[in-house]
A and B are shown apart, each in its own frame.
Chain A
């Protein structure tokens, strides 16, 4: 089942922070985050596995709460280059999904000067 992302869209000024959420109705083994700029291929950001650890990538970090079946992506001090559509991809583990990702519909992030 497709994970639900929120918000659907967000507009920021450069330097502001944002949080993007990804929720699933099924138990999750891992959550992947990707960013896609218009007309381009999605680019991998990070993977979070069961265990609730938080990961970071420059000023972009994420958390994974397996009990709540949720992940959140945190963008701090946003830059113009952060603009794009952010997708979460979820995996329930080999026994439930055959080791493949189900992607959310995406969150469109726009950073203005």
Chain B
């Protein structure tokens, strides 16, 4: 595609519900990243996929968070039993291996009420 696409753009969910966020990376980009951005804060690394290698999950804040990626395409970030502190913008980015630039999607704004 022309850029990184994320869906939905906005999601409001009740506390305790599960949510699934989707990311379509740029075609051909083998690297895919998820970041969390709380209001007025910087980018918090969550997870990184590179090709068929085991993902780097070191940034996931709790076992309620998980992510999957099918081959070198779509990725889904799942948050189980959502809490109010999960409210944030979740950003996905992709890049080519060895290339410094990460291309970001527009993000999914998650609000837990």
> Real complex partners, A and B?
no
Q: Which residue numbers of A lie inside 8 Å of B, CB to CB? A: none
Q: Which residue numbers of B lie inside 8 Å of A, CB to CB? A: none
